[in-house]
Amino acid sequence: MIRDITIGQYYPVNSPIHRMDARVKLIITFLFIVTLFTVNTFLGYLFVVLCMAAVIKTSKVPLKFMLKGIKGIFIIIAFTAFINVFMTRGENILFEWGIFTVTTEGILIAIKMCIRLVLLVIGSSILTLTTTPIQLTDAIEYILRPFKKIGVPAHEIAMMMTIALRFIPTLLDETDKIMKAQQARGADFDSGNLLQRAKSLIPILVPLFISAFRRADELAMAMEARCYHGDENKTRMNVMVLKQSDYKAIVILVAYCIALIVLRFATTRYFII
Amino acid sequence: MSIKINHLKHVYNAGTIFEKTALYDINITIQTGEFIGLIGHTGSGKSTLIQHLNGTISPTEGEILLDDENIHKDKAKLREVRQRIGLAFQYPEHQLFEMTVYKDVAFGPSNMKLSEQEIDKRVREALQTVGLSESVYEKSPFELSGGQKRRVAIAGVLAMNPEVLILDEPTAGLDPKGRDEILYAIKKLHEKRGITIILVSHSMEDVAKLADRLIVMEKGRVAMTGTPKEVFARVEELEKIGLAAPQISYVLAELKQKGYDLPNDIYTVEEAVKALYTLLKGEEKL
């Protein structure tokens, strides 16, 4: 049940996408998200979906894992669809009731919005499923490095993220264990009204917080025992180097962006929906 | 109350790349009043097995019969099963959460919707059994020593008056004094209240001293069962799967090699003391 959350769930297979430099993957994902907002036609979305399908195929991660993330934002998608269907003003009114009007435009926008959200989630899932959290934070640190001059603590941010990500599975396991132990003492988490259910969380949350603090304490001690003192003069075990395949990926990315721009102008000119 | 495990199989993360079979075809019967020692190397499936017994995880295949009734047949009855089969997890003190020791132990019985007098009676009884005095009842569980905390946690399970008590390495990480206190409480429970006990342990000394019957697990299968004497007699097999006989039996084996006339089947320090004493007394007479 708790295991359904995909964030930070690296899927360990060996694929060209897995082997790519994390910095390149991060930038590609960022640009993918930004450029997704320029797409406004079904033809454009078809193109994006096809490109994405190709990437998923290359990554060797089963589609099931990619789609897992959508479950988590299902409510947001449903809510977006609802708002767009009922609140968009348009000319082709299909149905009207009080402040709610359903128009053809509204339905089309709702569908497009949902596609966009789904693509956003899958796009970022590709990144997290093919990149270990450690590689990812290393990449973030590297990308934030230029901002150090204006006082952005790049290394500290990256270290905090690494630690946070590292402890997600640990704390999930811990939660699972605590829940089982309290169930063994007759605790009941899924019946009763809202207040009773909220109350039934106390026997889980208190031990969980205590254990999180204990772990934090122990970790800080262990880091200090190994002479950790931040970024200064720190060398790396894994030095990131761009490979030929990474340059290829960058070329493909540029081509993808150009294609999107061309599509955008072409579709506006010829009024394709 | 007997527990019967039939062809139990458990697969974690079935159908994914993380798939791992933890238990293959386990068949065990546990009789009322037995004291079982469950031993095995880390990752041999001990913890998975005991979590099945009170229904905190469900089997992939096979069934667990409690008095000839499948515990998963009726989901509504699972809570009753969990009350009858008490399970204290590893590091049970990590689950303490209440403001006072008394309230924490009362958590189990109050979930059973008992009367206040009954809860009070059970809490006091449970705390007495684990050997905690009244002076700690109103203390915060977090102020106590490691051994005391663990005894509070075990009392929390005991207060539900289980017919079977399963303990997952109850002495892990405790100092010798804390360890002895816990083991003494468990022994007393078994002798005085006749509770069936399943003790998961890494300490061959502890199970040799306490258990009537041992179950040895290896890689998700039952490798051996029998009385401690029967199991420890097969010391070579035990060593092959990363276990050993109690240390004292190695001492006696060395002595025997040096030519002392000692019996073969001694696995506890108490027995060894007796045997050596008789031996020495015999020599004096000569």
* Structure tokens given for B173: 């990480």
User: Is residue A211 less than 8 Å (CB to CB) from chain B?
Assistant: yes
Q: Where are the alpha helices (DSSP H) in A133-191?
A: 133-144, 154-184
Looking at residue A215, its pLDDT comes to 92
| Rounded-to-integer distance, Cα B9 and Cα B7, Å | 6
Nearest Cα residue in chain B from A189: B111
* Structure tokens given for B197: 């006990």
Q: How large is the average pLDDT for residues A233-261?
A: 87
Distance between B223 CA and the closest CA of chain A, angstroms: 27
Instruction: For this complex, say whether ipTM is above 0.85.
Output: no
Q: Residue A58, Cα to own-chain centre: how many angstroms?
A: 19
* CA torsion, ordered A219, B147, B103, A200, to nearest 10 deg: 40
| Rounded-to-integer distance, Cα A17 and Cα A210, Å | 39
Judge whether A118 and A33 are in contact, CB under 8 Å. Answer: no
Mean pLDDT by 10 residues, chain B (286 residues): 88 80 91 93 89 89 88 82 89 88 93 91 92 91 89 92 92 86 89 92 90 93 92 90 89 87 85 88 73
Could you tell me which of A17, A239, A32 has the C-alpha nearest to residue A128? A17
Looking at residue B285, its pLDDT comes to 66
Query: pLDDT at residue A272 above 70?
Result: no
Q: How large is the average pLDDT for residues A19-24?
A: 92
Looking at residue A2, its pLDDT comes to 45
Looking at residue B55, its pLDDT comes to 86
Q: How large is the average pLDDT for residues A89-100?
A: 74
Looking at residue B280, its pLDDT comes to 86
Query: Which residues of chain A lie closer than 8 angstroms to B13, CB-CB?
Result: 3
Q: Over pLDDT 70: what percentage of chain A?
A: 96
* Alpha-carbon dihedral sign for residues B28, B31, B33, B34: negative
B87 SS3 class: strand
Cross-strand pairs, B38: B200, B215
More confident residue, A267 or B40: B40
Q: How many CB atoms lie within 10 A of CB A259?
A: 15
Looking at residue A220, its pLDDT comes to 93
Closest by Cβ to B95, choosing from A3, A12, A178:
A178
What is the band of A6 on the pLDDT scale with cuts at 50, 70, 90? very low
pTM: 0.73
Looking at residue B213, its pLDDT comes to 94
Looking at residue A5, its pLDDT comes to 47
Q: How large is the average pLDDT for residues A195-211?
A: 89
Could you tell me which of A40, A22, A30 has the C-alpha nearest to residue A253? A30
| Rounded-to-integer distance, Cα B135 and Cα A247, Å | 71
The CA radius of gyration of chain B, in Å to the nearest whole number, is: 21
Looking at residue A4, its pLDDT comes to 45
Judge whether B144 and B93 are in contact, CB under 8 Å. Answer: no
Looking at residue B157, its pLDDT comes to 92
Between chain A and chain B, the number of residue pairs with CB atoms below 8 A apart is: 58
Q: How far is CA A102 from CA A80, A99, A113, in A?
A: 14, 10, 16
Query: pLDDT at residue A270 above 60?
Result: yes
Distance between A267 CA and the closest CA of chain B, angstroms: 42
* Residues contacting A244, CB < 8 A, separation 6+: none
Looking at residue B131, its pLDDT comes to 87
Query: Which residues of chain A lie closer than 8 angstroms to B108, CB-CB?
Result: 185-186
B261: left (phi over 0), alpha (psi -120 to 50) or beta: beta
Distance between B285 CA and the closest CA of chain A, angstroms: 59
Mutation for testing the A interface, residue in B48, B97, B112 having most A CBs under 10 Å: B97
First to last CA, chain B: 54
Looking at residue A137, its pLDDT comes to 84
Query: pLDDT at residue A271 above 70?
Result: no
Looking at residue B137, its pLDDT comes to 93
User: Is residue B274 less than 8 Å (CB to CB) from chain A?
Assistant: no
Query: pLDDT at residue A152 above 90?
Result: no
| Rounded-to-integer distance, Cα A260 and Cα A217, Å | 50
Cross-chain residue pair B17–A211, CB shorter than 8 Å? no
User: Is residue A186 less than 8 Å (CB to CB) from chain B?
Assistant: yes
Query: pLDDT at residue A8 above 60?
Result: no
Q: How large is the average pLDDT for residues A42-58?
A: 91
Pairing of strands B213-218, B85-88: unpaired
**Residue B28: what residue type?**
I
Judge whether A102 and A86 are in contact, CB under 8 Å. Answer: yes
Judge whether B112 and B160 are in contact, CB under 8 Å. Answer: yes
Distance between B177 CA and the closest CA of chain A, angstroms: 24
* Residues contacting B1, CB < 8 A, separation 6+: B32, B66, B67, B84, B163, B164, B196
Looking at residue A218, its pLDDT comes to 94
Cross-chain residue pair A180–B51, CB shorter than 8 Å? yes
- Lowest-confidence segment of A148-152, A188-192, B180-184, B258-262 by average pLDDT: A188-192
Looking at residue A207, its pLDDT comes to 93
